[in-house]
Amino acid sequence: MAEAFKIPEDLAAHGLEFLPDGLVAAIGSSRTVRYMNSRAEQVTGLAAADVVGRDIREALPLQDLTGDDWWDVSDPWTGLETRSGHRERLLVLPSGRELLVTAHYVRDGHLGPVRAVVVGLRDAEARRRAEKESAALLSSVAHELRSPLTGVKGFSSTLLRNWDRFTDDQKRLMLETIEADADRVTRLITELLDTSRIQAGRLTVHAQPVDVVPRLEAQVERRVASGADRDQFDVEVEESARTMWVDPDRFEQVLANLVENALRHGRGRVHVGVRRATWDGPAATDLVVADDGDGIAPQHRELVFNRFWQAGARHGTGLGLYLVRGMVEAHGGEVVAEESPSGGALLRATFPDGD
């Protein structure tokens, strides 16, 4: 009875050959492989001709990440009679190929012997890529947090131990530095939270009419207070575009990230402008930030909005423009990278008008 289970001859006609995942089926107590689709060949690097007809444990010698033989651990044929398969897990072949493997056991009646084992196989590259991105994020966050926290710790310890030795001006300078570093940490944490909201599709905006001129001027003042020269900034706002329909807090984040990007990649001059939009969509307003740097190569103008994208020397977390795009799109708009009149980069964020 257990050997009577058969694989149909017209499996391809049944669509199994066109599954996006690999499929390997072993029949009977001899565990003989009777079917292997082409996708399974691709993800394992094994030829069906070398697998079909062999004991699946030998033809597909899967191991867990500790090096143990997965077939010995899972033991589909003589293990618990109540098991119907295994959920997806990461396994590896002797060749080093990592696979995401699921298994389904076909039993001869309730709690009967296993008649067939059907193994699903997926390439683990996507998971590994996600793990690398997570590792990159952790590394960037650790680096970005360490610098301001070191400053906070250093200045606060110095003040506590030597308070009476410093003048009021010296104390004020150190406290202002502590405040600036604390703001930097808060900003980083906010970026991380917003990144997770964008990925989950849960970023919300509450658009309202906002006079953007004071916000642009305040942004310039903050940069000047941080050491920039006021002459570096050129602010130009069309009278008809003074009022934008935006979420005030999100707009501040977009503006700050765009200006930060321009300062980082330019040679000092930053143009910030607001004008009526000409995009192919509803009535809208453009926020334009341009620098005088080397610009963005045409083939990179979409990549710059990806998470962790960093051109040249590594600075920051690589999340700034990713957040800009997520926040602008949450408003129903778009953000694009273009070439500025000076040859540098021009980033244009378009915000639709409210009703």
pLDDT one-digit tens code per residue, 299-334: 888 888 887 666 654 455 677 898 999 999 999 999
Residue 13 has pLDDT above 70, yes or no: no
How far apart are the C-alpha atoms of 290 and 344, rounded to whole Å? 7
Residue 294 has pLDDT above 70, yes or no: yes
pLDDT of residue 6: 52
Under the banding of pLDDT at 50, 70 and 90, the label for residue 132 is confident
Residue ranges of domains in the chain: 9-123, 128-200, 208-352
Residue 75 has pLDDT above 80, yes or no: yes
Which CATH architecture fits 208-352? 2-Layer Sandwich (3.30)
Which CATH architecture fits 9-123? 2-Layer Sandwich (3.30)
Under the banding of pLDDT at 50, 70 and 90, the label for residue 355 is low
Ranking 41-55, 114-128, 163-177, 309-323 by mean pLDDT, the lowest is 309-323
pLDDT of residue 316: 58
- What six digits make up the tokens of 200? 């989950």
| Class for the domain spanning 128-200 | mainly alpha
Ranking 128-137, 151-160, 346-355 by mean pLDDT, the lowest is 128-137
How far apart are the C-alpha atoms of 138 and 117, rounded to whole Å? 40
* pTM for the model: 0.60
Ranking 16-20, 152-156, 250-254, 260-264 by mean pLDDT, the lowest is 16-20
pLDDT one-digit tens code per residue, 146-198: 878 888 899 999 999 999 999 999 999 899 889 888 888 887 888 888 888 88
Task: Supply the mean pLDDT for the chain.
Answer: 86
Contact indicator for 343, 295 with CB cutoff of 8 Å: yes
Going by C-alpha positions, the residue among 23, 25, 32 that lies closest to residue 3 is 32
Contact indicator for 216, 237 with CB cutoff of 8 Å: yes
pLDDT of residue 4: 47
